[in-house]
Amino acid sequence: FKQRLTNKTLPFNSYLFFTYQQTAFWDVFKKSFPFREINYHPSLALIKAHYKKGKYNGFWQFQFEHESNGLDGDSSRSWNRFSLIYERFLSAKLTGRLKIWAPVGNVDDNPDITDFRGFQELSFAYKFNEDFILETEMRKGWSLDLKGSILLGANYRISKRSNQFLYLQYFLGYSENLITYDQSTHRIRLGVVFKDLFLKFKE
């Protein structure tokens, strides 16, 4: 979720937001269906809207992020980073986003995480119509090999009167989670997603 912390305009016509993302990896193939890991991802962000010919066309977002799994000992993973996001409309139905980051502080729990997650992420979302949306997210690790990841997602609206979608996702690569960030994996998932499409596409 994303919450604006103040209505006061800050430098560069930006606003201060608190954002929070939590990802739980649920192992449904084991007895008692345990959660293998939960990743916690809060941030403080300055967000500035971008306009083209007087119309909203995307945004800039500069933020400080923390990401950890809340575990201790050898299973502990955490890191902090500053990041910059630029998202804009590429066409009436296509939106692109570029995110770059720089780690700061102690990364002893996962000193080589950028070898697998890299320093950048490129993503696109394409809306075929009001009911069907395709998404992709790509990262390249900071190494000369093929370490990195790609995520593909397909969304189909359940009802024209709701924002609920059936969601099919495929992930291939490294650093999907923190505890096994240095291990290659591939996953296919099917579920239900609630999507906030406000200002996501030009049309």
- Give the active site residues: 66, 68
Cβ proximity of 85 and 111 under 8 Å: no
Strand segments, DSSP code E, in 33-184 are 35-52, 55-68, 78-89, 94-104, 120-127, 132-140, 148-157, 164-173
Cβ proximity of 27 and 35 under 8 Å: yes
Element (H, E) at 109: none
Query: Can you tell me the distance from the alpha carbon of 147 to that of 140, in angstroms, rounded to the nearest whole number?
Result: 6
